[in-house]
Amino acid sequence: MTRNILLSFALLLSACAPHSRAPVAPMNTQTDGAWTVFSAPEWTQNGEAVSVTAIAAATDGALWFGTAGGPAASGTGLYRFDGTNWTRYTTQSGLPADEISSLAAAPDGSLWVATFCCGTARLDKTGGWQYWKAPNDLPENDARAIAVDFQGNPWVGFAETGLARLEGKTWQTFGRGYVGQISPLADGSVLFSISEDSRPLLKRFGRDGWDTLELPSPLKESYIFDVAQTPDGALWFATEKAGLFRLTDGAWRQFTVQDGLPADSVLTLTVASDGSLWCGTPNGIARFDGQTWRVSYADEWVVSAYAAPDGRIWFGGKGEILRYEPSVTSQTSFASPMPVAWQEVTLPCWRACEYRNLRRWAIDSNHFHSANVACRFPCARLVELGGALGDGNSLHIVCGWRNQKSNMGI
């Protein structure tokens, strides 16, 4: 056991070492209750704010943030936060461009980067870069979305030429049109938000190949910006102008400003460890607990979001990164009246798992009931379910990987 712990610690240090050589990024920090706002001096240019367009979490626990500019501002590259320090990557550090449209973390510890002008790139855990561009590798260089599926395959969506997936060393292309969102789902399939001839479509790729989802009338007229899946299995769709849609067991429901949303344009979604849904809009951040909406930072334009395993929620806005930090007890700990036997877990694997995919526990006064755990990334090797007992009264959940889903009962 000691040998395994030392090996995991050594692997973690090895993965982090190359990033220590990246330039330190000065970051201003302001705290207001449960909220912390981070802002870099270079995020304000010519009276315009740089947007934090993408957020991704690597297997070493670090968070990555991509930026892009506007008419009077330019993107300032990529930022890494290890929990203490901020570092910055630009074209001088190996980025193909400082204007980043999307980010995706892979199970091998690498980070995939999509740019508006210069194709895609991969930063491996040793700090090395690899690049793919048109016309030799990709159908075009304007990449708008990137994601890694449960098999570890990267997908890229483009502004005009559909999709590409890397298979071995070759990119395979699919379809046509604008692809602005790629969403791997818990069942192993992948959803794609596509616009063909100005017609919004939602296509899915799974074990049986391709199919097109039938959409309700309002969704046929409004592009889908983001997709999220809550622990109850429901799919949520953020739209350009028709609010938010929920699909549960074949039934659709629409949410708009009349239901409590701060705007009918919803730009980004994420699901917290307690199962609540968080939305980023042009008019702030909204949280839905299954019954009511609560709005924060109503004057903030929020374009990216990420729910971390520790219960914190991160948002990318214009000129700012916002972090919401709930109480640890309500988000990641559950009262446990019984002793728990723990199995050893490999560190990189449990860091790759996300509490937001943990089904909500059914709790009564004395017992835990079974829960399903789905990890976002496949681990390099099989590990058993396990965790760390923080104190005598708290249960901290950690998961491994077995055939894309693992079942845990206590």
Do 34 and 90 belong to one domain?
Answer: yes
Do 17 and 138 belong to one domain?
Answer: yes
Summarised one tens digit per residue, pLDDT across range 145-168 is 999 998 899 999 999 999 999 998
What is the pLDDT averaged over residues 183-197? 93
Do 294 and 347 belong to one domain?
Answer: no
Do 298 and 391 belong to one domain?
Answer: no
Q: State the pLDDT at residue 25.
A: 84
- Per the structure, how many domains does the chain have? 2
Task: Look over the chain and give the mean of its residue pLDDT values, rounded to a whole number.
Answer: 79
* CB 263, CB 302: distance < 8 Å: no
What is the pLDDT averaged over residues 257-271? 97
Q: What confidence tier does 193 reach under pLDDT thresholds 50, 70, 90?
A: very high
Summarised one tens digit per residue, pLDDT across range 324-338 is 998 643 333 323 222
Do 231 and 190 belong to one domain?
Answer: yes
State the pairing for strand pair 100-105/86-89: unpaired
What is the pLDDT averaged over residues 209-223? 92
Q: Is the pLDDT of residue 62 over 70?
A: yes
**Domain limit, last residue, from 299, 328, 357:** 328
- % helix / strand / coil in the chain, to the nearest 5? 10, 45, 45
Q: Is the pLDDT of residue 386 over 80?
A: no
Q: Which residues lie closer than 8 Å to 220 by C-beta, 6 or more apart?
A: 199, 200
CATH number where 47 lies: 2.130.10.10
Do 323 and 338 belong to one domain?
Answer: no
What is the pLDDT averaged over residues 270-289? 95
Do 381 and 269 belong to one domain?
Answer: no
Among the listed ranges 6-10, 81-85, 171-175, 197-201, which one has the minimum average pLDDT value?
A: 6-10
Do 265 and 324 belong to one domain?
Answer: yes
Q: Is the pLDDT of residue 1 over 70?
A: no
Do 255 and 269 belong to one domain?
Answer: yes
The upper half-sphere exposure of residue 224, i.e. CA atoms within 13 Å in the direction of its Cβ, equals 29
Do 371 and 297 belong to one domain?
Answer: no
**Domain limit, last residue, from 292, 307, 328:** 328
For residue 385, what are the domain limits?
333-410
Summarised one tens digit per residue, pLDDT across range 72-119 is 889 999 999 999 999 999 999 999 999 999 999 999 999 999 999 999
* CB 303, CB 269: distance < 8 Å: no
Do 299 and 391 belong to one domain?
Answer: no
CA distance 162 to 96: 21
Q: State the pLDDT at residue 29.
A: 96
Q: State the pLDDT at residue 209.
A: 93
Q: Is the pLDDT of residue 406 over 80?
A: no
Among the listed ranges 126-130, 279-283, 303-307, 355-359, which one has the minimum average pLDDT value?
A: 355-359
Q: Is the pLDDT of residue 385 over 90?
A: no
Type of residue found at 339: P
* DSSP class per residue in 64-120: EEEEE--SS-----EEEE-SS-EEEE-GGGT-S-S-EEEEEE-TTS-EEEEESSS-E
**Domain limit, last residue, from 328, 359, 385:** 328
Q: State the pLDDT at residue 357.
A: 32
Q: State the pLDDT at residue 21.
A: 59
Do 373 and 229 belong to one domain?
Answer: no
Among the listed ranges 34-43, 223-232, 389-398, which one has the minimum average pLDDT value?
A: 389-398
